[in-house]
């Protein structure tokens, strides 16, 4: 099959490379000339484990190419995927669909023969209907079938998630489009990933519902962590204790500094707006959004408390800045709220992140000092704070850290270490939802 992938962000680039790896011929299109030039030279615009090799292999074998020109890619395609950004619209929290509709216009004008146009970007319910009517308006005679096919991959595990998904959701009522989509995903359902066919609107909603549910699960355990701290219980044991019940499930029950990233914050907010406008408000999700925002700032208070209530003039060493490990993505990372709040309170910030410094420099205040490694970061600091659970922070040399830090105080916002071990090592140790 011939595939055109419009947009080379996380989802577009990973999906395009994976479809090529299945044996399809894929052209990834992006308006950003520098990005396309770089991709042609094998330089990835994002840090994602395994992506460079995957791209390189498929480019060399002639199945994957990159272009700034949409028309040749679309003219030859059986399926054109729209994988452009849908950021939060300033002011009202709705998803901004201007890139999706602009791509739709260009695609419709260039399609030849029967073409399936697939929305892979996360788009609110009803967007497929809009894409269809714009296509009809632009090219009344074109044979276009608009399908919703949301993506559920996680950053940092994107290739694995794409190639071994729990399910593939395809929203269409059109038999011909169904046949094309089935052919595209054949290598996956042979490996027993179920294909779920639904209506287009249902498919669009499944994507938001999945992200909102996961965000709710995280927020639930985060609030329970606060309760555990008050009543002297252990949130990790609570997670285990409830997660072993198959009806609940153990995943996404790790308490931490609040969810971040390019998806959960934006998608939960957009879903609440859709629901309000439809007259069926999702009050649970509205609460989740508010609780999670407040939590990120509350984490700074944890650091202040660990230093006896005052951080003025103190040096805080932060390990991990990205919203989670194995990515360089800083979008809505809890570290942003933590850094800003601590700077406001008069602290000095030293920070280290294995991959995220380049992105961090763009969003964090200039005063932040970036260290070379974890030990350099801890140098003369009053407290060491683990913000993101990179593997590199899972086996730190605390003997060395003790000599490097000004005071042996650790605040572990990801519960990487065990309180009893840290105390045995002579540290004052605070974590999330666990008794000391």
Q: Is 154 in the site for ligand UGA (CB under 6 A)?
A: yes
Q: Which of 214, 270, 381, 383 binds ligand UGA (CB under 6 A)?
A: 214
Phi, psi of 209 (to 5 degrees): -65, -40
Q: Is 228 among the catalytic positions?
A: no
CA atoms within 13 A on the CB side of 180: 25
Q: Is 405 in the site for ligand UGA (CB under 6 A)?
A: no
Beta-bridge partners for 313: none
Q: Is 261 in the site for ligand UGA (CB under 6 A)?
A: yes
Query: Of the two residues 154 and 402, which places its CB atom closer to ligand UGA in the complex?
Result: 154
Among the listed residues 18, 28, 228, 263, the single catalytic one is 263
Q: Which of 4, 83, 142, 153 binds ligand UGA (CB under 6 A)?
A: 153
Buried b (16+ CB within 10 A) or exposed e, 203-229: bbbbbbebbbebbbbbbbbbbbbbebb
Per-residue binder mask for ligand UGA (CB under 6 A), 168-207, x = binder: ----------------------------------------
Query: Of the two residues 30 and 155, which places its CB atom closer to ligand UGA in the complex?
Result: 155
Which region among 89-97, 151-159, 196-204, 401-409 touches ligand UGA (by CB under 6 A)?
151-159
Q: For the chain, how are helix, strand and coil distributed in percent, rounded to 5?
A: 45, 15, 40
Q: Is 263 in the site for ligand UGA (CB under 6 A)?
A: yes
Q: Is 122 in the site for ligand UGA (CB under 6 A)?
A: yes
Q: Is 123 in the site for ligand UGA (CB under 6 A)?
A: no
Which region among 70-78, 96-104, 162-170, 257-265 touches ligand UGA (by CB under 6 A)?
257-265
**CB neighbour list of residue 415: distance below 8 Å, 6 or more residues apart:** 235, 236, 254, 255, 256, 431, 432, 433, 434
Which region among 12-20, 149-157, 177-185, 274-282 touches ligand UGA (by CB under 6 A)?
149-157
**CB neighbour list of residue 182: distance below 8 Å, 6 or more residues apart:** 189, 195
Which region among 73-81, 152-160, 164-172, 364-372 touches ligand UGA (by CB under 6 A)?
152-160
Binders of ligand UGA among residues 285 to 324 (CB under 6 A) are: 323-324
Q: Is 253 in the site for ligand UGA (CB under 6 A)?
A: yes
Rounded Cα gap, residues 151 and 168, in angstroms:
8
User: Quick one: 362 exposed, middle or buried, by C-beta within 10 A (0-12, 13-18, 19+)?
Assistant: exposed
CA atoms within 13 A on the CB side of 157: 9
Beta-bridge partners for 141: none
The set of long-range contacts for 187-193, using a CB threshold of 8 Å and a minimum separation of 24, is 187/22, 187/23, 188/22, 188/163, 188/164, 191/164, 193/164, 193/165, 193/166, 193/167, 193/168
Asked if residue 14 lies in contact with residue 153, where contact means CB atoms within 8 angstroms, the answer is yes
Residue (of 314, 315, 327, 316) closest to 360 by Cα position: 327
Q: Is 208 in the site for ligand UGA (CB under 6 A)?
A: no
Query: Of the two residues 26 and 153, which places its CB atom closer to ligand UGA in the complex?
Result: 153
The side-by-side arrangement of strands in the sheet containing 348-352 is 369-370, 348-352, 315-319, 383-386, 409-412, 428-430
Q: Is 152 in the site for ligand UGA (CB under 6 A)?
A: yes
Which region among 60-68, 249-257, 376-384, 422-430 touches ligand UGA (by CB under 6 A)?
249-257
CB of 260 to ligand UGA, least distance (A): 4
Which region among 137-145, 183-191, 250-258, 348-356 touches ligand UGA (by CB under 6 A)?
250-258
Q: Is 211 in the site for ligand UGA (CB under 6 A)?
A: yes
Rounded Cα gap, residues 310 and 415, in angstroms:
23
Q: Is 252 in the site for ligand UGA (CB under 6 A)?
A: yes
H helix or E strand, kind and range, residue 32? none
Q: Is the dihedral of CA 124, 92, 278, 213 positive or negative?
A: positive
Query: Of the two residues 12 and 261, which places its CB atom closer to ligand UGA in the complex?
Result: 261
Which tokens in the block code for residue 131?
A: 């894409």
Q: Which of 70, 181, 184, 218 binds ligand UGA (CB under 6 A)?
A: 218
Q: Is 336 in the site for ligand UGA (CB under 6 A)?
A: no
Rounded Cα gap, residues 327 and 44, in angstroms:
12
Q: Is 260 in the site for ligand UGA (CB under 6 A)?
A: yes
Q: Is 254 in the site for ligand UGA (CB under 6 A)?
A: yes
Secondary structure (3-state) at 399? helix
Q: Is 265 in the site for ligand UGA (CB under 6 A)?
A: no
Q: Which residues are catalytic?
A: 263
Residues forming contacts to ligand UGA in the complex (CB under 6 A) are 122, 151-155, 211, 214, 218, 252-254, 256, 259-261, 263-264, 323-324
């Amino acid at each position: 099959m011939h595939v055109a992938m419009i947009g080379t962000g996380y989802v577009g680039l990973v999906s395009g490379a994976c479809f090529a790896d299945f044996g399809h011929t894929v052209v990834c299109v992006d308006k950003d000339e520098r990005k396309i030039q770089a991709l042609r030279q094998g330089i990835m615009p994002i840090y994602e484990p395994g992506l460079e090799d995957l791209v390189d292999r498929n480019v060399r074998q002639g199945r994957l190419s990159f272009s700034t020109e949409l028309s040749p890619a679309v003219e030859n395609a059986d399926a054109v995927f729209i994988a452009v950004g849908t950021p939060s619209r300033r002011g009202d929290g709705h998803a901004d669909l201007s890139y999706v509709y602009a791509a739709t216009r260009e695609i419709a004008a260039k399609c030849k023969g029967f073409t399936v146009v697939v929305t892979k970007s996360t788009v609110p319910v009803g967007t497929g209907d809009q894409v269809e009517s714009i296509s009809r308006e632009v090219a009344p005679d074109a044979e276009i079938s608009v399908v919703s096919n949301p993506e559920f991959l996680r950053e940092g595990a994107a290739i694995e998630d794409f190639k071994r998904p729990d399910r593939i959701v395809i929203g269409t009522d059109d038999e011909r489009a169904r046949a094309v989509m089935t052919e595209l995903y054949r290598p996956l359902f042979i490996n027993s990933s179920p294909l779920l066919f639904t209506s287009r609107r249902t498919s669009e909603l499944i994507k938001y519902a999945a992200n909102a549910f996961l965000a709710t699960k995280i927020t639930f355990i985060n609030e329970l962590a606060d309760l555990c701290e008050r009543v002297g219980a252990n949130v990790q044991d609570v997670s285990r204790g409830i997660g072993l019940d198959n009806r609940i499930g153990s995943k996404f029950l790790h308490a931490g500094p609040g969810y971040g990233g390019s998806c959960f914050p934006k998608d939960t907010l957009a879903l609440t707006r859709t629901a309000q406008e439809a007259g069926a408000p999702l009050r649970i999700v509205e609460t989740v959004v508010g609780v999670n925002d407040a939590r990120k700032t509350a984490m700074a208070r944890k650091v202040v408390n660990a230093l006896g209530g005052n951080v003025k003039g103190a040096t805080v060493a932060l390990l991990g800045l990205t919203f989670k490990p194995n990515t360089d993505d800083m979008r809505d990372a809890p570290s942003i709220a933590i850094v800003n709040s601590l700077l406001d309170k008069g602290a000095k910030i030293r920070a280290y992140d294995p991959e995220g410094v380049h992105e961090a420099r763009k969003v964090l205040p200039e005063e932040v000092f970036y260290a070379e490694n974890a030990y350099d970061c801890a140098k003369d600091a009053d407290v060491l704070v683990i913000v993101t659970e990179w593997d590199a922070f899972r086996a730190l040399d605390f003997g060395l850290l003790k000599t490097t830090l000004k005071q042996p105080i650790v605040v572990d916002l990801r519960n990487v270490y065990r309180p009893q071990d840290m105390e045995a090592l002579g540290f004052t140790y605070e974590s999330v939802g666990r008794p000391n």
